[in-house]
Chains A and B, each alone.
Chain A
């Protein structure tokens, strides 16, 4: 176990805190077992525990000094190490990040599915309503068009994540590995540029168009651009994750499709 002097104060805590020792010790002790196995790592949540343990440890030390004991209480060392282990960022934190990203990915996918579902429902409702109810909703076409724009720009990052964007691979197959790697880096940079340019210029356009009202829905014309901004921001997140190595790099055996699925 590494020394944990960096997080423990060498000065004594005020004795008033010692009153809380008994009440906080019991739950901390239960968790101590989990914390002591250092390699397992501590989660984000355990940082709170680290602070608690730290306070308890310093209180124990003040008890020891106040009661005139020569040796520190045996639990003191344990607490100190546990606090250090809990405070250290570890594999579990990364795991939490991954879980968060996975949650975002799934959320966006379900969001896209929901957009698609509502587009189709409205599109067929339009036909039904015109022939059965004899009423053509004026907003129906516009909802579908705006939905399509949101759908496309949110699904571009999903397709990127799954390596589905169409690429001509004929020349790349002849490249030396280092050239291929350099090209990959260049491509990721271009994706970053695309995401930034789309987000920024969409934002600029949305500033202008938010004052005009769409003819069918009578909503500001900036709403479709918000989809482009959101999609580009998500794209940026995904590309950065790939650059940081959080997403697996392109699998050389699994080539993207060579032609548009027309």
Chain B
């Protein structure tokens, strides 16, 4: 029955039925097929899935992100990144990584990061002579930091479903996120020695301390936001959800009173747009309630676990297998679905093998993001490629090196639990 449900879900989704409807349909059919299920449970499980205070962090961070974007924060942050690393060889490429990194501290979404950075940096990159496919692949991979460096929507979803502290996941993401940024910058550095990429050896700008200072003074609000969010969670002043609400208020105060880029007239539309984005994500989470209930009723996680445990008994190996399966699925299926289906499995793996919940969470999130940049169905690549106006195979050709760099970081996170669990265990316990 599980096989039937999951394969039909895959089929229904791939044919082109909206994902929200596909999941609701499968949940409904599954409930109707199980004998002795009272159907109002369908509504009750949708309610139950949203009946969570931790999940509220998501609408708040979505709103904070859209208020800040309306205030033009991404442009300022990219200017800051260019002033900081633009004088390197392949300065624009480095700036796109650093820009994504600082942008990740403001927004919790990799797609938002990738599209913001791509629309600002790809035009000058193409002007300098960068291959459009290279630029698109790089920015898409750099965008994945959006979901790894706090705040992160993916972590909110995982934490809410797996009952893991979201604040802890946020803190655990700091080191892996920065490592991914460094890995990407090293990859760019290696590319500059590649004979086929002469454009990367050109130095386009000179370092200018005054320009750096000017960019800091205009981008201060965006640079301060992650410090407030992470600082507040670290010191225990607020939870991750409250951090989201505070971030909204902060973004509004900065945008309205300081930068004066937001007018009161714009506020309802910003709110409605953020509500639509929320409904797209939370709606899928809600309708996954019935399906998730069926999967746990049929003990899907136990089945996966018992199957995996026949392959190996070492916790590290189990994590590797789990990561491999998630990346593989993520290349074909929307990352949110993989997360919703696999979060309960990850929970039982954590419990059975005594792994650190934050480490498992980080592995899940990074796998999810690697899945989101791996062809053939890679939403982040689609976004940046359409901005770069280049055939998708040009991007696919370049993405492998950057994916490899990110996968190496994933391997490190699996092998060294301290990378993801040290900060949360030090500050939260």
B18 lies within 8 A of A127 (CB)? no
B14 lies within 8 A of A171 (CB)? yes
Given the interface contacts A155-B275, A259-B335, A262-B111, does A149 sit within 8 Å of B242 by beta carbon?
A: no
Contact among A170, A183, A190, A228 for B14, CB-based, below 8 A: A170
- Please, which residues of chain B bring their CB within 8 A of the CB of A262? 109-111, 147, 153-154, 157, 281, 335-336, 368
CA distance A94 to B372 in the complex (A): 46
B47 lies within 8 A of A113 (CB)? no
Query: Of all chain B residues, which has the CB nearest A113?
Result: B271
A260 lies within 8 A of B336 (CB)? yes
Distance in angstroms from B429 CB to nearest chain A CB is 21
- Please, which residues of chain B bring their CB within 8 A of the CB of A149? 47, 50-51
Interface residues of A (CB under 8 A from B): 109-110, 112-113, 115-117, 119-120, 122-124, 126-127, 131, 141, 144-145, 148-149, 151-156, 158-159, 162, 164-172, 175, 183, 186-187, 190-191, 193-194, 197-198, 201-202, 204-205, 208, 224-225, 228, 256-262
A–B Cβ pairs within 8 angstroms, 13 of them:
A116-B271, A117-B271, A123-B242, A124-B245, A127-B237, A145-B53, A155-B278, A159-B276, A204-B43, A205-B43, A259-B379, A261-B111, A261-B281
Query: Of all chain B residues, which has the CB nearest A116?
Result: B271
Interface residues of B (CB under 8 A from A): 13-21, 24-25, 28, 39-44, 46-47, 50-53, 55-56, 59-60, 62-63, 109-112, 147, 153-154, 157, 237-238, 241-242, 244-246, 248-249, 267-268, 271-272, 274-284, 286, 334-336, 368, 372, 376-377, 379-380, 382
Given the interface contacts A166-B284, A205-B40, A205-B47, does A258 sit within 8 Å of B382 by beta carbon?
A: yes
Contact among A170, A172, A224 for B377, CB-based, below 8 A: A170
- Please, which residues of chain B bring their CB within 8 A of the CB of A109? 268, 272
- Please, which residues of chain B bring their CB within 8 A of the CB of A190? 17, 21, 25
Contact among A127, A168, A202 for B246, CB-based, below 8 A: A127
CA distance A138 to B380 in the complex (A): 41
B279 lies within 8 A of A155 (CB)? yes
Main secondary structure of the interface of A (DSSP, over half): helix
- Please, which residues of chain B bring their CB within 8 A of the CB of A193? 25
- Please, which residues of chain A bring their CB within 8 A of the CB of B241? 123
Contact among B20, B60, B237 for A166, CB-based, below 8 A: B20
Query: Of all chain B residues, which has the CB nearest A187?
Result: B17
Q: How many A-B residue pairs have CB under 8 A?
A: 219
CA distance A164 to B276 in the complex (A): 8
CA distance A224 to B47 in the complex (A): 8
- Please, which residues of chain A bring their CB within 8 A of the CB of B59? 116, 119, 148, 151
Given the interface contacts A155-B278, A197-B42, does A165 sit within 8 Å of B56 by beta carbon?
A: no
Query: Of all chain B residues, which has the CB nearest A122?
Result: B245
Given the interface contacts A112-B275, A123-B241, A156-B279, does A171 sit within 8 Å of B16 by beta carbon?
A: yes
B276 lies within 8 A of A123 (CB)? no
Contact among A119, A126, A201, A257 for B43, CB-based, below 8 A: A201
Query: Of all chain A residues, which has the CB nearest B277?
Result: A261
CA distance A122 to B60 in the complex (A): 12
Distance in angstroms from A63 CB to nearest chain B CB is 58
- Please, which residues of chain B bring their CB within 8 A of the CB of A112? 271-272, 275
Contacts beyond the supplied A120-B63, A124-B249, A262-B153: 7 A-B pairs with Cβ under 8 Å: A112-B275, A116-B59, A123-B242, A126-B245, A127-B246, A152-B279, A202-B47
Distance in angstroms from B33 CB to nearest chain A CB is 15
Distance in angstroms from A149 CB to nearest chain B CB is 5
Given the interface contacts A183-B16, A261-B112, does A158 sit within 8 Å of B276 by beta carbon?
A: yes
CA distance A142 to B100 in the complex (A): 35
- Please, which residues of chain B bring their CB within 8 A of the CB of A144? 53, 56
Distance in angstroms from A137 CB to nearest chain B CB is 13
CA distance A122 to B46 in the complex (A): 24
Contact among B18, B42, B55 for A148, CB-based, below 8 A: B55
Distance in angstroms from B232 CB to nearest chain A CB is 9
- Please, which residues of chain B bring their CB within 8 A of the CB of A166? 18-20, 280, 284, 334
Given the interface contacts A149-B47, A201-B40, does A162 sit within 8 Å of B276 by beta carbon?
A: yes
CA distance A123 to B58 in the complex (A): 13
Distance in angstroms from A242 CB to nearest chain B CB is 13
Given the interface contacts A123-B244, A148-B59, A205-B44, does A159 sit within 8 Å of B271 by beta carbon?
A: no
Distance in angstroms from B71 CB to nearest chain A CB is 16
Given the interface contacts A228-B43, A259-B379, does A145 sit within 8 Å of B18 by beta carbon?
A: no
CA distance A202 to B18 in the complex (A): 22
Query: Of all chain B residues, which has the CB nearest A172?
Result: B16
